């Protein structure tokens, strides 16, 4: 499957503007024969929401997103706040090309005081959906910095781990080194899709990328430009990599 990763700066607290930009990105990705578009963390709403968070969560445009996927005939992973049972989560939504909501992942590891003030933590460690011939696991930003999260996805059969992120300075080490390592140690594809530009006190580092099961960087964006990049995801390469580099089968689960 050909996927598209969209490194972009969201329009702050403006669902209409972000829906319009998303529609254009979907159209461009479809013209390049991509079948799935992945967006950055909290792209639909902006990230530093603070007092705006309750209203933005209550008005999250899920119905419009489902209709957009159906109209463009493109699957997408989109992100924003989720109001549920009196709590608000930082969420990643997988929507099929038929406009069906296949799964929702709630960020489990909250980073710093901003995240912890704004959101409740999710409690589902593995969120995998099957789309065409791919098993796709969803994570959000800080989640991927814990090796246990990606290992759990790999052990559950993921071919691709799609990570929406809003990675800021000075943590570009994650983009430059850690994501490829996660691919290598779990023999799967990683897509790490970041915001760019500035949002209030945060300066995002860009550097979105896709890595292969052997740790190769298949594509990587710049630090500051909005970019739409593409990569081919082949589940047979995951199977072959796990034969050649048998960390998962050699893991001592009896003692770990």
The distance in angstroms from the start CA to the end CA of the chain is 34
**141 given a catalytic annotation:** yes
The Cα–Cα gap between 251 and 194 comes to 31
**107 given a catalytic annotation:** yes
Burial of 46 from C-beta contacts in 10 A (0-12 / 13-18 / 19+): buried
The Cα–Cα gap between 49 and 96 comes to 28
Of 35, 107, 127, 145, which is the active-site residue? 107
Of 35, 103, 141, 199, which is the active-site residue? 141
Give residues with Cβ within 8 angstroms of 146, minimum separation 6.
Answer: 109
Checking phi first, is residue 88 left (phi over 0); if not, alpha (psi -120 to 50) or beta? beta
User: In the structure encoding, which two tokens stand for residue 60, read together?
Assistant: 């999250």
Tell me how many degrees the CA angle 250-254-255 measures, rounded to the nearest 5.
Answer: 100
- List b or e across 82-99, with b for residues whose CB sees 16 or more CB atoms inside 10 angstroms: bbeeeebbbbbbbbbbeb
**216 given a catalytic annotation:** no
Asked if the bond preceding 170 is cis, omega within 30° of 0, the reply is: yes
Of 41, 103, 127, 199, which is the active-site residue? 41
- Whether the CB-CB separation of 217 and 183 falls below 8 Å is answered with no
Report, as residue numbers or ranges, the catalytic residues: 41, 107, 141
């Amino acid at each position: 499957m050909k996927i598209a990763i969209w490194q972009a700066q969201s329009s702050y607290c403006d669902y209409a503007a972000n829906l319009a930009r998303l529609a254009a990105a979907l159209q461009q990705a479809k013209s390049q024969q991509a079948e799935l578009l992945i967006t950055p963390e909290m792209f639909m709403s902006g990230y530093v929401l603070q007092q705006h968070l309750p209203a933005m969560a209550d008005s999250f445009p899920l119905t419009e997103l489902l209709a957009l996927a159906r109209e463009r005939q493109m699957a997408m992973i989109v992100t924003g706040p989720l109001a549920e049972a009196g709590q608000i989560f930082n969420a990643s939504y997988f929507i099929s090309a038929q406009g069906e909501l296949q799964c929702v992942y709630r960020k489990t590891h909250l980073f710093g005081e901003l995240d912890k003030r704004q959101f409740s933590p999710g409690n589902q460690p593995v969120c995998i959906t099957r789309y065409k011939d791919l098993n796709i696991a969803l994570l959000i930003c800080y989640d991927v910095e814990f090796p246990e999260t990606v290992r759990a996805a790999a052990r559950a059969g993921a071919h691709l781990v799609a990570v929406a992120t809003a990675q800021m300075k000075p943590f570009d080490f994650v983009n430059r080194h850690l994501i490829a390592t996660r691919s290598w140690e779990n023999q799967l594809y990683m897509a790490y899709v970041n915001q760019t530009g500035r949002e209030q006190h945060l300066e995002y580092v860009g550097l979105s990328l896709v890595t292969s099961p052997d740790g190769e960087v298949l594509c990587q964006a710049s630090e500051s430009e909005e970019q739409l990049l593409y990569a081919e995801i082949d589940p047979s390469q995951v199977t072959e990599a796990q034969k050649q580099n048998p960390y998962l089968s050699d893991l001592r689960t009896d003692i770990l």
